[in-house]
């Protein structure tokens, strides 16, 4: 298969297989706002999560290819995102500090193949919990920060450098100071790795002091949180705040508390990339409606990778 064929099939997948979820920051949305050609004021970004570079094991025997397949799939989008955000667990954990850094550098080299030059990173516990984020900071920069893009304020929260999954009062103080100048109706997007709410504490799917962050964020009316960690799409609301978890790019996990153990969903050779994918987030001109499109790697990723189109 050549690159053109791979892209055509990807477009078909997006057209018929994509799940569209309208996330109302305020107001309703009936479909994807990413227009062919794109309106000047519209934009979209892509969320990739839990790539776990360096993982080896039965839940994904193709782990050495999956990240490259994701890069190829994003590059094959008909329009490129303004930026790509990685919501943690870029690498799979290791006790060996040199190996951790090697995995981070390999990860960087692979995602360096993205056509989108702007990439935002944050750690997951696999990247940062064993060394309090030291290697991550050296390779990628700060673990929490904020930035503005086209009239939206983005805040990145670190709830993993503390191995007990706490944000910590110092970072919460920083968040408050960062958001304080913004009016109550300002559109705010928060990126983090773990859920800020108690999704399933029995499975460690929570943030120890996440409630403090949520209480703080409630002072703004248009807040959306994107996170990873749970290796599946999930949508939840705490008050006015919408929380959206993304699929992983290594192996899916079962729905929260749906079985006794949070073991990975067994790999299915007939559908080797089922449950793996990424998310496109389109932002409309008002900046108050986000449209989420969940893209699957199933079917297209391996073909694109096989064609060497990345």
What is the binding site for other proteins (CB under 8 A)? 92-95, 125-126, 129-130, 160, 163-165, 198, 201-204, 206, 211, 260-263
Query: What angle (nearest 5°) sits at the alpha carbon of residue 45, between those of residues 157 and 239?
Result: 50
Residue closer to other proteins, measured from CB, 119 or 208: 208
CB of 261 to other proteins, least distance (A): 7
Whole-angstrom distance, CA of residue 57 vs CA of residue 308? 24
Residue closer to other proteins, measured from CB, 185 or 204: 204
Strand partners, 200: 205
* Among candidate residues 161, 102, 111, the one with its CA nearest the CA of residue 137: 161
* Among candidate residues 91, 78, 72, 75, the one with its CA nearest the CA of residue 36: 78
DSSP state of 267: P
Whole-angstrom distance, CA of residue 54 vs CA of residue 284? 37
CB of 93 to other proteins, least distance (A): 5
Contact status, residue 257 vs residue 203, Cβ threshold 8 Å? yes
Residue closer to other proteins, measured from CB, 84 or 157: 157
Residue closer to other proteins, measured from CB, 94 or 116: 94
Residue closer to other proteins, measured from CB, 267 or 310: 267
Strand arrangement, sheet containing 277-283 = 19-24, 289-296, 277-283, 43-48, 84-87, 119-122
CB of 267 to other proteins, least distance (A): 17
CB of 144 to other proteins, least distance (A): 18
CB of 178 to other proteins, least distance (A): 25
């Amino acid at each position: 298969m050549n690159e053109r064929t791979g892209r055509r099939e990807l477009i078909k997948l997006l057209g018929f297989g994509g799940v569209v979820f309208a996330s109302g920051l305020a107001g309703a949305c009936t479909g994807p706002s990413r227009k062919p050609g794109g309106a000047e004021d519209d934009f979209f970004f892509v969320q990739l999560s839990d790539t776990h570079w360096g993982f080896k094991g039965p839940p994904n025997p193709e782990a050495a290819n999956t990240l490259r397949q994701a890069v190829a799939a994003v590059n094959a989008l008909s329009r490129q995102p303004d930026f790509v955000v990685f919501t943690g667990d870029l690498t799979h954990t290791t006790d060996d500090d040199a190996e951790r850094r090697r995995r981070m550098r390999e990860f960087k080299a692979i995602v360096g193949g993205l056509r989108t030059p702007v990439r935002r990173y944050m750690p997951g516990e696999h990247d940062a919990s064993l060394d309090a984020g030291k290697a991550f900071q050296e390779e990628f920069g700060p673990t929490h920060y904020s930035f503005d893009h086209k009239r939206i304020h983005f805040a990145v929260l670190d709830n993993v450098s503390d191995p007990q999954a706490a944000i910590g009062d110092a970072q919460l103080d920083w968040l408050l100071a960062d958001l304080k100048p913004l009016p109550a109706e300002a559109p705010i997007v928060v990126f983090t790795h773990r859920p800020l709410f108690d999704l399933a504490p029995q499975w460690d799917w929570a943030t120890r002091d996440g409630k403090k962050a949520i209480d703080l964020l409630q002072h703004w009316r248009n807040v959306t949180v994107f996170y990873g960690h749970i290796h599946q799409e999930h949508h939840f609301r705490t008050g006015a705040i919408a929380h959206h978890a993304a699929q992983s790019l290594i192996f899916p996990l079962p729905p929260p508390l749906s079985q006794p153990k949070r073991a990975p969903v067994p790999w299915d050779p007939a559908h080797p990339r089922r449950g793996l994918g990424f998310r496109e987030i389109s932002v409309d001109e008002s900046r108050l409606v986000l449209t989420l499109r969940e893209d699957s790697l199933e079917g297209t990723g391996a073909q694109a990778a096989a064609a060497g189109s990345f």
